Amino acid sequence: MTYNDIHEGIFLSRPNRFIAEVEVYEQVHKCHVKNTGRCKELLVPGAKVYVNRSDKMERVTKFDLISVWKEERLINMDSQAPNKVFLEYLKSGQHLRGITFIKPEAKYGNSRFDFYVEAEGPQSPGKRKIFIEIKGVTLEIGGAAFFPDAPTERGVRHLKELTRLSHEGYEAHVVFVIKMKGITHFSPNNTTHPAFGAALTLAKEAGVKVIALDCNVMPNSLVIDNPVSVIL
């Protein structure tokens, strides 16, 4: 995926979770933060960031905060990006072969999942029916990627729902889109939310596929690149 009007800036402050003050071309602008997570390790005063100018004239904030440099690593912060880049990845055939149907925001019972996919079975005439949940990852510690960066009961619920689907005979995938490069491995953040790590382990034991993928991050683009090893 690409952004069409990127500008370099300097992060100054974050008055609330939706707004950041960023210096762009020696002027201070209020920018929309496209990530409601804490991101305290990323949004530090003086950090170099990239913002995308909005083409919606009626908006109060004229820029969206897209990515930030953490030392030598550029990290995409756009919380809407993981689903978009994963859809591109799906359509490319790199995640699954023989796809015949893709439905984003698929509802099953009282639950909603990021994608429902049908694909040709490895031995016809079987049809693979797959529910996929996507999680965007921005937390890096010591070269490893971790999720979540804050407690997420919603995330735990998603894992339990995927586990139930696996028991019902569906394929179920949870995909961690790591929005950076140079990562040694991915692990659940058991320090911040041990319940998420426990639910992820139970999901894998039930047959849910746990997948981590890193990304090539440029100021104006984000593309899924390679699988990353998962350590639970």
pLDDT, residue 123, reads 59
Does position 70 have pLDDT exceeding 90, yes or no? yes
Q: How far does CA 37 lie from the centroid of its chain?
A: 12
Number of neighbouring beta carbons within 10 Å of residue 218: 15
Average pLDDT over residues 174-189: 98
- Determine contact, residues 128/120, Cβ cutoff 8 Å: yes
**Mean pLDDT over the full length of the chain:** 94
Question: What local confidence, expressed as pLDDT, does residue 84 receive?
Answer: 97
Residue 97 has pLDDT above 80, yes or no: yes
The sign of the dihedral angle between the CA atoms of 151, 153, 155, 160 is positive
Q: What is the pLDDT of residue 202?
A: 98
DSSP for 35-91, written as a single string: --S--TTT--TT-EEEEEE---TT-S--EEEEEEEETTEEEE--TTHHHHHHHHHHH
The model's pTM:
0.94
Report, as an integer, the average pLDDT of 157-181: 96
Q: How many CA atoms lie within 13 A of 196 on its CB side?
A: 20
pLDDT single digits (tens) 23-65: 999 999 999 999 988 888 999 999 999 999 988 877 889 999 9
User: Residue with structure tokens 């804490």?
Assistant: 38
Which has the closest alpha carbon to 22: 57, 79, 61, 75? 61
Q: How many CB atoms lie within 10 A of CB 191?
A: 9
